[in-house]
Chain A
Amino acid sequence: MSQINRLTQGGRIDRSKTLNFSFNGTSYTGFPGDTLASALLANGVDIVNRSFKYSRPRGIVAAGAEEPNAVVQLGSTEAAQVPNVRATQQALYQGLTAASTNGWPNVQNDVMGLLGKLGGKMMPPGFYYKTFMTPASMWMTYEKLIRKAAGLGRSPRENDPDIYDHMHRHCDVLVIGAGPAGLAAALAAGRSGARVIICDEQEEMGGSLLDSRDLINGQDPALWAAAAVAELLAMDEVLVLPRTTANGYHDHNFVTLHERRTEHLADTAPQINGQPQARARMHHIRAGQVILATGAHDRPVVYANNDVPGNMLASAVSTYIRRYGVVPGNKLVLTTSNDYGYRAALDWHEAGREVVAIVDARAKPDGDLVKAAREKGIRIITGSAVFEGKGSKRVSGARVARIDLDNFKLAGSVEDLVCDTIASSGGYSPVVHLAAHTGARPVWSDEAIGFLPGKVKGMTPVGSARAVYSLSAVLADAVEAGASAAAACGFESGGIELPQVQSATEGPACALFQVPHEKPTMRAPKQFVDQQNDVSAAAIELATREGFESIEHVKRYTAMGFGTDQGKLGNINGMAIAARCLGQTIPQTGTTVFRPNYTPITFGAIAGRHCRDLFDPERYTALHSWHLKRGAKFEDVGQWKRPWYFPIGNESMHDAVARECLAVREKVGILDASTLGKIDIQGKDAREFLGRIYTNKWEKLGVGKARYGLMCKDDGMVMDDGVTTCLAEDHFLMTTTTGGAAGILEWLELWHQTEWPELEVYFNTVTDHWATMTITGPRARDLLSEVTDIDLDKDNFKFMECREGQVAGVPARVYRISFTGELTYEINVQANYAMRVWEALFQHEAKYGLTPYGTETMHVLRAEKGFIIVGQDTDGSVTPEDLGMQWCVGYDKPFSWIGHRALTRPDTKRDDRKQLVGLKPVDPKVVLQEGAQIVRDPNQTIPMKMVGHVTSSYYSPVLNSGFALALVMGGHKRMGEKVYLPMADGKTHEAEIVSPIFFDPKGARQNV
């Protein structure tokens, strides 16, 4: 079978090359310029899919984005599978492989179709709400069966080999759609020098001009379109984006465009210069003005069996004939409500095939096209409509009768016509979708018999998107809009001479949505409204009967417009039918909400390059490459990669951490602490500011001294902590938690800028500038003395002091602060020198047993000392007093610091608050689970009264025992009491409440 429906000439395809493709395993040929749909029609393929609910055979209906049926699975390999591709928008390429998404064993003969026929009656809308309820336990089984029928195409099961990307662009005027309206508007705007972007979703720009009967300047209007595109391409400030769909229109004129860069070439993107290129690209456009030139969709007429293959949109018939050189049948019956639909019959006739009749709902049609049809001798049946199609796998006839629309009934005898194709046009629906995305409801126009775009600031609809249809008016409208849009952005347009247009004049159309049937709607053969979701006129009638009176209810009860086409063909008809059933007007009924996407967009394209290695930044310290070389395992802390522990050989984490811990307690360890937030604070009021923002006191901290501070929110809950050092009278260096760094800087700015602008103080981040290396352990001083000129004498450089000097020949600030309880020096150098200093210290590795350690060891060591980690031992509901840190609260500070007032709120005064304590498992071998819940009485029944939970828990090699920190109700007064931790495995651990300081409670070791 080879392209039986292909005309020998005409159309915009390239007959000099042949493309091979396969559909459902059969090989076919087509031509460059074809879509998959035109190629299938050329080859006489009728059934392209089975419907979702009733498994009815379905064929191609439309020629563009509005197609509901021809939804196929594409892809020649597993990884290249693409579900739910609309054949009408898929360019044909060599080797294209596609298949129907539904139908078993195949789309021609579908067993489910039989079920659909038999069971269809049992499946009115919402049938599942009314059944499958007994027995209750069976629902999950029923659901499994229901799910078997779900879905159209399938997801690939291998990872996508392709990449996608984004471009952010700004322009003065964005023109969406490149039909005559879009092109003319873009020309008018472009010639003014404004920055213009014009996009069109089709393979070729020109829109309706590519299959038009009109003439521009006496020629095929496609020539005018080509010239317009060429002129636009030549303009410096104009960006022309073919194959690009405006898929979402967001606030303040932000529009997302989806550019298909390679989908017309293959199912995986070919490379350029040996490099992968993006399969698709999203353009994020911020436009000064938007011109909506998206055209109008032909509206099918709703009649019985209107879903059988061979039922098509009149406009699609024209498009296939004129643009693709394909006549999708032999004998045509056209049912229409308007002159424009006549094009289908004329084109059909001119293609040399039989037009059985034109059935016109109007009593006296008389436009130019009507006359042309009459002149050609085509039979025209007026005041009538096709009310039922015949045939099961392909149309075999049409039943026609006079109709009385006012009373919604047939008004005369029935005539059966023999045909294989029924084309219908019920009028045009302007493409208002994008305008609706920002919340503007479409507005009904009686004159246009359709909804027009609602008002959006900075947006102008032009051409058929606002129901201006005659080509000369479209062009005039667009030129005016393009020039005004440019002017609104400050660009004067020189004005454009309008081309000469020759087009047919049209008579008025009439409103035709659902055609009445001999039988009432509920009893007539199915009259489909939404073909993809198998929603029929009867379903809508039933919904309204059951009380679903809002069109939104109708949508949700019947699934009308829920499909991948979002009801582009069906919605307006559905609304009209609902209006009829409810005895309302269409504007009273209204539309449902159009939302992005205009047409579906792959997740990959929306994600862009922010995936895999680039999903989220990985932040590295200056020493990262050393850690890697040393075999560190990393922990994610915020976006940072921090060494977690440094295993040697096959060492387990437990062993590595125990070794690292002992090294610190016995010799000396080193930690890369560069990720700590660091904020340089300067100004004469810096000290006052610290006093307001921290819970504790700062007025007496001397130069060169450091102090630990807690920060609360004004609700009194701890939010961050860290050590702040007084570098000079008006100069402090604050440290924050790793995760808190950015937030705390903003927090300081917030209070400064909004509440206390009178304080003279500046905050600047120096987190990345200073690398911080913590050496800690009894031999820290000896080690450091090898590489520094700073006087490390214990009386000259005391605990909680800071010194400046050289370390390994590098200027450094060294702080004697300790998070381990051991003698500690934190060496800070400009980060470019970090590696040099670190390596200098490691020259003495063997001599002192210097051991690198990671966050896990840091946690064990600090927990042994009872030092908290904000975010681990606190959770946003813990006050400084709950932590037992009264020593860190300036109760009598003159300024009521942030969090102060909360001390006296009723809830913070409660004495049964959860308080931080230590927990000693009775069995020292037990390491309690972090997150384990604590009870007083292990023998209660469930639900048990829980009194707290474990926040931190480790094995301590120095204690040779497990130990933990926990928040326990009233814990501070319960030292020595026993508590219980009932675990998931059925065991219950017993532990004693103890002080959270497990090691060196006097703090002697850090003071040596």
Chain B
Amino acid sequence: MLHIYCPYCGEHREESEFRPKGQAHIIRPKDPVNTSDEEWGDYLFFRENPRGIHHEMWVHAVGCRKFFNVTRDTVSYEILEVYKMGEQPTVTAATQQKGGQK
């Protein structure tokens, strides 16, 4: 049972108020018509599915109804960062690895 910080409501809320929305930062191709079948299929269906650090989108469905991003470890379920739509993560698999070497 996750406890998720909503960056818009400014507090931690229970998981049941949120819905997970899959991988974050998926951008719809700007020119779909000139996108190959392969690229279009990738956009529709193919996802990062990492064991470890994952950037994912959630919506505060029973709350402010805002979408936002969460960086979460898919093994420990620890939430490492929460950031708004349009922002980029500061914690990534790469930064975590560096952190580990320190």
Residues of A at the B interface (CB closer than 8 Å) are 168, 250-254, 286, 439, 457, 714-715, 746, 749-750, 753-755, 757, 896, 900-901, 904-906
Contact = CB atoms under 8 A, between A and B. Distances in A.
Contact of A901 (B27, B32, B57, B86): B32
A905 B40 CA distance: 9
Contact of B44 (A254, A715, A754, A906): A715
Given A253-B3, A715-B44, A906-B37, 16 more contacts: A168-B14, A252-B3, A252-B79, A286-B14, A439-B76, A714-B28, A714-B43, A714-B44, A746-B61, A746-B65, A749-B67, A750-B21, A753-B67, A755-B27, A757-B86, A901-B32
B35 interface: yes
B24 to A, nearest CB: 9
A286 B3 contact: yes
A253 B31 CA distance: 46
A904 B32 CA distance: 11
14 contacts: A251-B3, A252-B2, A252-B77, A286-B14, A746-B59, A746-B61, A749-B65, A749-B67, A750-B21, A754-B57, A755-B28, A896-B31, A904-B33, A905-B40
Contacts of B43: 714
Nearest to A749: B65
Interface string B1-14: 11100000000001
A901 B98 CA distance: 41
A153 to B, nearest CB: 30
Contacts of A750: 21, 59, 67
Contacts of A252: 1-3, 77, 79
Nearest to B65: A749
A602 B2 CA distance: 24
A254 B59 contact: no
Contacts of A753: 66-67, 85
Contacts of B32: 896, 900-901
Interface in B45-82: 57, 59, 61, 65-67, 75-79
Contacts of A439: 75-76
A896 B3 contact: no
A906 B77 CA distance: 40
A750 B31 CA distance: 19
Nearest to A755: B28
Contacts of A253: 3
A251 B2 contact: yes
Looking at A715, A754, A757, the one whose CB has the most chain B CB atoms below 10 A away is A754
Interface of B: 1-3, 14, 21, 27-28, 31-33, 35, 37, 40, 43-44, 57, 59, 61, 65-67, 75-79, 85-86
Contacts of B3: 251-254, 286
A251 B3 CA distance: 8
A252 B85 CA distance: 24
Nearest to B29: A901
A283 to B, nearest CB: 13
Nearest to B33: A896
Looking at A750, A753, A757, A904, the one whose CB has the most chain B CB atoms below 10 A away is A753
A490 to B, nearest CB: 14
A253 B2 CA distance: 9
A714 B40 CA distance: 10
Contacts of A757: 85-86
B10 to A, nearest CB: 16
A250 B44 CA distance: 33
A754 B59 CA distance: 11
Nearest to B28: A755
Contacts of A901: 32-33, 35, 40
A27 to B, nearest CB: 46
Contacts of A755: 27-28
Contact of B77 (A251, A286, A900, A905): A251
Nearest to A904: B33
Contacts of B33: 896, 900-901, 904
Contacts of A715: 44
Nearest to A251: B77
B26 to A, nearest CB: 9
A444 B85 CA distance: 45
B40 A754 contact: no
Contacts of A457: 78
Across the A-B interface, give the 8 residue pairs with the lowest CB-CB distance, nearest first: A254-B1, A901-B32, A252-B3, A896-B32, A250-B1, A251-B77, A753-B67, A715-B44
Contacts of A168: 14
A845 to B, nearest CB: 42
B37 A754 contact: no
A252 B75 CA distance: 13
Looking at B32, B40, B66, B76, the one whose CB has the most chain A CB atoms below 10 A away is B32
A253 B76 CA distance: 13
Contacts of B77: 251-252
Nearest to A248: B1
Contacts of B78: 457
B58 to A, nearest CB: 12
B21 to A, nearest CB: 7
A298 B66 CA distance: 52
A877 to B, nearest CB: 14
A584 B15 CA distance: 42
Nearest to B68: A753
A750 B85 CA distance: 11
Contacts of A754: 57, 67, 85
B64 to A, nearest CB: 11
Nearest to B26: A754
Contacts of A251: 1-3, 77
Contacts of B75: 439
A900 B43 CA distance: 14
Looking at B1, B21, B78, B79, the one whose CB has the most chain A CB atoms below 10 A away is B1
Contacts of A286: 3, 14
Contacts of B65: 746, 749
Looking at A457, A714, A757, the one whose CB has the most chain B CB atoms below 10 A away is A714
Nearest to B43: A714
A63 B93 CA distance: 50
A908 to B, nearest CB: 11
A749 B68 CA distance: 12
A185 to B, nearest CB: 22
B91 to A, nearest CB: 16
A623 B44 CA distance: 42
A896 B32 CA distance: 7
Nearest to A716: B44
Looking at B35, B40, B43, the one whose CB has the most chain A CB atoms below 10 A away is B40
A1000 to B, nearest CB: 38
Given A749-B65, A749-B67, A754-B57, A905 B1 contact: no
Nearest to A256: B1
A457 B78 CA distance: 9
Contacts of A749: 59, 65, 67
Contacts of B1: 250-252, 254
A581 to B, nearest CB: 32
Contacts of B44: 714-715
A446 B78 CA distance: 31
A425 B79 CA distance: 43
Nearest to B40: A901
Nearest to B39: A901
A755 B79 CA distance: 25
B49 to A, nearest CB: 19
A200 B66 CA distance: 40
A46 to B, nearest CB: 44
Nearest to A906: B37
A749 B75 CA distance: 30
A750 B14 CA distance: 21
A900 B28 CA distance: 12
Nearest to A900: B32
A464 to B, nearest CB: 27
A574 to B, nearest CB: 28
A724 to B, nearest CB: 21
Contacts of A905: 37, 40
A327 to B, nearest CB: 46
